[in-house]
Amino acid sequence: MLRKLNYLNVSWPLDFTSLFPEQGPLLVEIGFGNGDYLVNLARTRREANVIGLEISSQAMDKAERKIDKLGLRNARPIHSTAETALAHLLPPESVSEFHINFPDPWFKKKHSRRRLIKRETVDMLTSRMARGGTLLLATDILAYAELAHEIFSDSPGLSNALGTPWTRDLPGRFRSKYESKAYREGRGAAFFLYKRNTTPVPHPAIIKELDMPHLFLRSPLDAAALVERFETSRRADGDIHIALLRAYADPRRDAAVFEAVVQEPTIDQHTMISLTPRQKPGEYMVKMTSVGHARPTLGMHRAVAAVGDWAAAQHDEARVLERKLRG
């Protein structure tokens, strides 16, 4: 069984030579569901390497099992949102084909941020497409097709490869699970096919990890006394949201850990931030841990600052002595 991949345990950007035995054009399927379309891509396009992106763990398990059973070495599913992969994993001009089959519509206004086909995401898809690369979208929802048409046709880096905004028929196409359902239920589907043209587009750089955030603190309160004072808190720091959920003391070591959820525009992380004693009595180091494979992003730096500042605010004589933090 191949190592299971997620956005936190792969390199940023992806290292294709370590993922695949052979080099080849890269095909990416977003939201692969039961994995049948992904598997078919890998089986019928042996010259290519195929990455699948999914947020559902069940879907990941299914696809991993199918790929493993068939011994396909040119397909790797990654547990990641498409948005995180576009920002952290896939370099500009690296993808020969994007395949997006039946994305969830998220039509309620309060959910519209989760909709895949929106201006920012289509711009990122365009940046990550190789010259001459293609983007295929299928949907069975007319309102989604209309919305996609509006966004694609206003994307200078993309050219429509069809004579019409979309087509109702792509002969010879392998049908995904949702597609078969759409046909069974008489809806059929709309297919979009766009090509990356030669118009230059912005290429947002891959967001890489930063150095490990930490700070030093002096406090007359020991770790157990700090944990006693702890209350769940949530804060928004620009577009970074930090929740400190729980604290646990280890009185024997005069140490503590704080459970943190850090949400940034491109990535969510759930980890622990530790407070450990230094040699000098009354001094502590606050730093991120690798629990949950956490990676040092700007949000993690802010979360370490949040724990340090909170701890310093618990006593008049407590102070943050030194910050090794960004931003």
Ligand X SMILES: C[S@@+](CC[C@H](N)C(=O)[O-])C[C@H]1O[C@@H](n2cnc3c(N)ncnc32)[C@H](O)[C@@H]1O
Instruction: State which of positions 88-127 bind ligand X (CB under 6 A).
Output: 101-104, 116
How many residues bind to ligand X according to rule CB under 6 A? Answer: 21
Mask: binding to ligand X, 268-307, rule CB under 6 A, as x and -?
Answer: ----------------------------------------
Burial tier of 51 (Cβ tally within 10 Å: 0-12, 13-18, 19+):
buried
Nearest CB to ligand X, comparing residues 113 and 319: 113
Give least dist CB 48 to ligand X, A: 18
Rule CB under 6 A: say whether 81 interacts with ligand X.
yes
Rule CB under 6 A: say whether 56 interacts with ligand X.
yes
Main-chain dihedrals φ then ψ at residue 57, nearest 5 degrees: -70, -35
Rule CB under 6 A: say whether 55 interacts with ligand X.
yes
Q: Which residues are designated catalytic?
A: 104
- For residue 190, which amino acid is it? A
Rule CB under 6 A: say whether 224 interacts with ligand X.
no
Give least dist CB 289 to ligand X, A: 27
DSSP code per residue over 91-122: -TT-EEEEEEES-----SGGGGGG-SSSHHHH
Nearest CB to ligand X, comparing residues 116 and 215: 116
Main-chain dihedrals φ then ψ at residue 268, nearest 5 degrees: -115, 140
Question: Which structure tokens are listed for 138?
Answer: 């299928």
55-63, 159-167, 257-265, 293-301 -> range binding ligand X (CB under 6 A): 55-63
Rule CB under 6 A: say whether 30 interacts with ligand X.
yes
Main-chain dihedrals φ then ψ at residue 16, nearest 5 degrees: -65, -30
Among residues 70, 75, 17, the alpha carbon closest in space to that of 41 is found at: 75
Nearest CB to ligand X, comparing residues 23 and 180: 180
Give least dist CB 241 to ligand X, A: 18
Instruction: State which of positions 159-198 bind ligand X (CB under 6 A).
Output: 176-179
Rule CB under 6 A: say whether 31 interacts with ligand X.
yes
Q: At what angle do helices 57-70 and 36-44 cross, to 10 degrees?
A: 30
Residue 256 DSSP SS3 = strand
Q: How far apart are CA 52 and CA 37, in angstroms?
A: 10
Footprint of ligand X (CB under 6 A): 30-33, 53-56, 59, 81-83, 101-104, 116, 176-179
